[in-house]
Structure 1
Amino acid sequence: MTETELLALLRELDDPERLEWPLNYDRTAASLSFGGLVRRLETDFRTQCEFEQDTQDSSEYGRVRVPAEATICGTRIVVCVSKFGSLAEVCADNPGAFLGTEEAREEGALDLADLATVERALAELGYVSVPEELLESDYEGPSALEHFAARPTWWTRFFGSM
């Protein structure tokens, strides 16, 4: 998807009445999808991945961590999954550790082949990968700004605590 299409999707998914999860949120379906993602990444990277799921008081459903030892550059890869619309984000080390995957690649922390492996898994499992650079841009949706504890960004809206 283009940046314009991704922004349109973020706006479409944004419901100011439902900050933590969408109206028709299915916790069981989210768990099954997330479990499939964990298994897929473990298979693709031939290692066990740490994960946490069903995050409380957050619009993020969970995170999968591909250990540094399993990556080409020796930096762990973190995949964050939102409770909204199967949105996902791929980060080197941690969200916010770099300005995005491009900066991580330029600094030698993320290999293009590893990123492609994660992006392929997300796409094949029905997730929509949103670049960290876009998620860190200023939030321009209908939710009231007082719900944001820090600078309002799209990341805070779909992956943070509100």
Structure 2
Amino acid sequence: MAKSEIELLALLSELDDPERLERPLHYDRAATGLKFGALVRRLEADFGASCEFERDTQDSSEYGRVHVPADATVCGTRIVVCVSKFGSLAEVCADNPGAFLGTDEAHEEGALDLGDLATVEQALADLGYVSVPEELLESDYEGPSVLEDFAARPTWWARFFGTVW
């Protein structure tokens, strides 16, 4: 079941630890990698295509990304799934993060099929990920961590998917 915006903001606040910007205290790299591998395999099976991926991102709170190729989607636009090192958070985007103002806009502009989005969201839910809409992640960050050094405009995306160094 999808979480409401209020529930998602509460979760983001709960996961926010100003002492640990890159990964949470009890981060299990091996378990995160296994779960991510399962996500890649699931999306490849669901879309019938090989998916490129990046994993174990250095100096970032993002663990990795899976790219569902454009030719495997109804609208011909690739789907990118970003996975955070925090709390199994995930984000689904058409083309790339920031290419659209979220999945609603991507759908309205003909770049994202709702069936494809539902397929990705179901895979995330089945594997225990919490999907956070890009629109919410792009809202102003209001937590205790100091992000000014890492982002011109601190957002929840910068906190849980951005580069920290």
TM range (shorter): over 0.9
Task: State the partner residue of 1:65.
Answer: 67
Aligned twin of 1:84: 86
Match of 1:127 in 2: 129
Deviations 1:110-158 (A, max 9, x none): 0000000000000000000000000000000000143433210000000
CA distance, structure 2, for counterparts of residue 44 and residue 8 of structure 1: 31
Pair 1:157-2:159 in alignment: yes
- 1:50 equivalent in alignment to 2:30: no
1:76 to partner: Cα distance: 0.1
Residue 144 (structure 2) aligns with: 142
Report the AA paired with residue 154 of structure 1: W
Backbone CA RMSD of aligned residues: 0.6
Amino acid at match of 1:89: E
2:15 is matched with 13
Q: Where do residues 95-110 of structure 1 align in structure 2 (5 Å cutoff)?
A: 95-110=97-112
Identity among equivalent positions (%) equals 82
Normalising by structure 2, report the TM-score. 0.97
The question of whether the paired residues in 1 share the 8 Å contact of 2:148 and 2:154 is answered with: no
Unmatched 5+ stretches in structure 1: none
**What is the SS of the residue equivalent to 1:146?**
coil
The answer for the alignment partner of 2:119 in structure 1 is 117
Cα offsets for 1:45-90 (capped at 9, x unmatched) = 0000000000000000000000000000000000000000000000
What's the TM-score once normalised by structure 1's chain length? 0.99
